[in-house]
Structure 1
């Protein structure tokens, strides 16, 4: 396997684009976050708020009807569109101009949701981040991977990765399978873990930020929102993945002295994105 390239501050500064002081929300990107189901609207709340806090100008959430009031109340800055079904997604059709889409958190795997996901993939060519249940649906329907737009970003944790690329018995075999999957399907894989690796064809990147505090519920949902936000802000897919993963880990490094490992939760990541950005501007 190729020697991984370290994702450190120097590598990130080559890719990071500071804001133009004359910018406005209309040119800061519009991200769409799709997912949620009854009892799992929190995941979309985390993704959507993370997308806003990562610098996106506009964020819209697409959720089942049971998520409408929750999102409107908890994140007033986010716009909300709903499916006609009360508890899960059945028809993902949005008449909106958006720049990037994150899909999967909390979505569930009902048959109607799987069909809606297939129909959505069949008609979108926008930059995509695929996570959680959307990844699991892909694993059940491997032929659907061919529907993904080139340079789609997949963000699996180890079990989701195994379902996608098959079982491995050594680290070398895992990376070999991931590289082949990335090359054949023209996708970028964010292999979440300690450390997190990004696979972009034969290029392998190893993140240098983060600690055990990130092993908490909702951490991955936040990362999905962050990467989707960066895609919407016109970062190239690989740069969005690298910067998203780096900032996500950095929040835990910055917060650790005040939170310790145990009381750091997913909302702590969102609360510290600003300080992570400030460290790039020093």
Structure 2
């Protein structure tokens, strides 16, 4: 395995696009977040808010009916479309074509949701981020990956990665299997961990930001929102993934002196995104 390339501030600044002073929300991208089920609407809230707070102009969240009030009250800036089912997603119908879609946080693995995911993947042509339960469902149906757009971004944590590529006996084998998987299905894999790596076919990138504070519930949901936001803003998938993991980690580096490791939660990632962008631009 060749040595990974580092994702540093210098690397990010090569492709980072500062905001055009004359822009408007219609030019900043429209993202859709498909997330949530009964008891896990918080995942939809975190992903959607992180998406908005990363510069996306418009965010629409697709969620079961039980998530409607929660989302409308907790994030008034997000538009909400609901499934006909109360507790989990059964039929993904979007009356718009966004610039990017993030799917999976908190959706669960009900049979109806599995069918809905398949139908969605069959017709979707929009740049895509697959996370959480969408990965767990796909792990049981790997052929579905042949339906996704090239350079779709997958964001598995270690257990989800194992379900996708199978068990490994060493770090080297884990990377070999992930590279082979990325090449076979033409997808970009964000291997979440300490540190986080991005595998894009034969290219391996190692993130240089982040710390143990990120090991907290909902952290991955915010990452999905952030990466989806950059895709919607017109970044190529490989750049959206790099920028996403870099800024996500940077929030924890900036916050640490104020929160400590233990008291940092996923909402703090969203809260510190502004400071992370300022750090990038200074």
TM-score bin (small chain): over 0.9
Instruction: State how many pairs are aligned.
Output: 282
Structure 1 residues 15-61: Cα deviation after superposition (integer angstroms, max 9, x where no partner): 21111110100010000000210000000000000000000000000
- 2:132 corresponds to which residue? 132
Q: Distance in 2 between matches of 1:166 and 1:14?
A: 35
- 2:257 corresponds to which residue? 257
Give every structure 1 segment of 4 or more consecutive aligned residues whose post-TM-superposition deviation is greater than 2 Å.
none
Residue 202 of structure 2 is aligned to residue 202 of structure 1: yes
After the TM superposition, which residues 37-52 of structure 1 pair with which residues of structure 2 at under 5 Å, given as runs? 37-52=37-52
- 1:179 corresponds to which residue? 179
- 1:88 corresponds to which residue? 88
Which stretch has the larger CA shift, 90-99 or 61-70? Answer: 90-99
Task: Structure 1: give runs of 5+ residues left out of the alignment.
Answer: none
- 1:164 corresponds to which residue? 164
Secondary structure at the aligned position of 1:102 is classed as strand
CA drift of 1:97 comes to 2.5
Root mean square deviation, CA, Å: 0.5
| TM-score, normalization by structure 1 | 0.99
Structure 1 residues 174-204: Cα deviation after superposition (integer angstroms, max 9, x where no partner): 0001011101110000000000000001000
Q: Distance in 1 between matches of 2:89 and 2:239?
A: 30
After the TM superposition, which residues 1-282 of structure 1 pair with which residues of structure 2 at under 5 Å, given as runs? 1-282=1-282
Secondary structure at the aligned position of 2:37 is classed as coil
| TM-score, normalization by structure 2 | 0.99
Q: Distance in 1 between matches of 2:125 and 2:3?
A: 32
Q: Distance in 2 between matches of 1:237 and 1:2?
A: 22
Q: Distance in 2 between matches of 1:247 and 1:281?
A: 12
Q: Distance in 1 between matches of 2:20 and 2:95?
A: 29
Q: Distance in 1 between matches of 2:5 and 2:273?
A: 24
CA drift of 1:68 comes to 0.2
Q: Distance in 1 between matches of 2:207 and 2:279?
A: 16
Q: Distance in 2 between matches of 1:68 and 1:266?
A: 21
CA drift of 1:137 comes to 0.2
CA drift of 1:93 comes to 1.2
